[in-house]
């Protein structure tokens, strides 16, 4: 069972690296952010509840995200493993995950902590562009698409996320420090945490991650 948690501040490259891990190891990327954005887009009850928190750069209430992850982990494609991207983000979420994995007889094997200088995070998030078709991630300077504004993989238009605006990013970084950073301490005691320097070439960072996982 290859259960992986990707920890790190907004912009650390969790989504970018999760997609690469998913391809090589044939396990699904479970991004609570992606699932919440989909719920907002579809106007579901959960989406309506989550939207105001997301727009403000805050965290969606624990019970909402815990429910999403609990359901998702029961899907057939999680039989061999899973990559949690953006979850857990609070101590109560981590405690709930411990209970859920135990109940489902699943296991988190490795917690990858992606480390990036705080200065660089703002630059990365301001320039992030996402494909509305396949979810591929780009950056206007660091990871440019071949044709401006179009996805290399599927040709669909790229968009800037609503919460990738300077003021919202600042709020997200403050919330990360306050609510999510304590998870590093939480997982230190488990012996499962591996630190990855996540600055520099995306392929080189992935090579280090893959080595740790193999």
Residue ranges binding ligand ADP (CB under 6 A): 8, 10-16, 124, 127-128, 137-139, 142-143, 200, 202, 205
Decide if 128 is catalytic.
yes
Q: Minimum distance between the CB of residue 21 and ligand ADP, rounded to whole angstroms?
A: 12
| Nearest partner of 58 among 141, 174, 206, 210, judged by Cα | 174
Q: In what order do the strands lie in the sheet with 158-159?
A: 137-139, 128-131, 158-159
DSSP 8-state symbol, 150: B
CA 71 to mean position of chain CA atoms: 17
d(Cα 56, Cα 162) in Å, to the nearest integer? Answer: 10
Catalytic-role residue among 161, 165, 192, 194 = 161
Sketch the per residue contact string, 13 through 32, with ligand AMP: x for CB under 6 A, - otherwise.
-------------------x
Decide if 214 is catalytic.
no
Decide if 129 is catalytic.
no
Q: Minimum distance between the CB of residue 137 and ligand ADP, rounded to whole angstroms?
A: 5
| Nearest partner of 32 among 2, 64, 75, 77, judged by Cα | 64
Are the CB atoms for 150 and 178 separated by under 8 Å? Answer: no
Out of 72, 89, 106, 129, the only residue in the binding site for ligand AMP (CB under 6 A) is 89
Are the CB atoms for 205 and 19 separated by under 8 Å? Answer: no
Q: Minimum distance between the CB of residue 189 and ligand AMP, rounded to whole angstroms?
A: 21
Out of 60, 97, 169, 196, the only residue in the binding site for ligand AMP (CB under 6 A) is 60
By beta-carbon proximity to ligand ADP, the closer residue of 16 and 93 is 16
State the catalytic residues. Answer: 14, 89, 128, 161, 172
């Amino acid at each position: 069972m290859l259960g992986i948690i990707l920890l790190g501040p907004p912009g650390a490259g969790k989504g970018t690296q999760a997609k690469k891990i998913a391809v090589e190891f044939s396990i699904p990327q479970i991004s609570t952010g992606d699932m919440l954005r989909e719920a907002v887009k579809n106007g579901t009850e959960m989406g309506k509840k989550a939207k105001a928190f997301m727009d403000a750069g805050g965290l969606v209430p624990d019970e909402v995200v815990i429910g999403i992850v609990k359901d998702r982990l029961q899907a057939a494609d999680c039989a061999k493993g899973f990559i949690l991207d953006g979850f857990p983000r609070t101590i109560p979420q981590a405690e709930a995950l411990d209970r859920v994995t135990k109940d489902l007889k699943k296991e988190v094997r490795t917690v990858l902590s992606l480390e990036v200088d705080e200065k660089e995070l703002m630059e990365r998030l301001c320039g992030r562009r996402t494909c509305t078709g396949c979810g591929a991630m780009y950056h206007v300077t660091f990871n440019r698409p071949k044709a401006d504004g179009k996805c290399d993989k599927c040709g669909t238009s790229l968009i800037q996320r609503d919460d990738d605006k300077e003021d919202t990013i600042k709020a997200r970084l403050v919330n990360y420090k306050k609510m999510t950073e304590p998870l590093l301490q939480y997982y230190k005691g488990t012996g499962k945490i591996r630190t990855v320097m996540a600055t520099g070439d995306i392929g080189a960072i992935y090579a280090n991650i893959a080595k740790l996982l193999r």
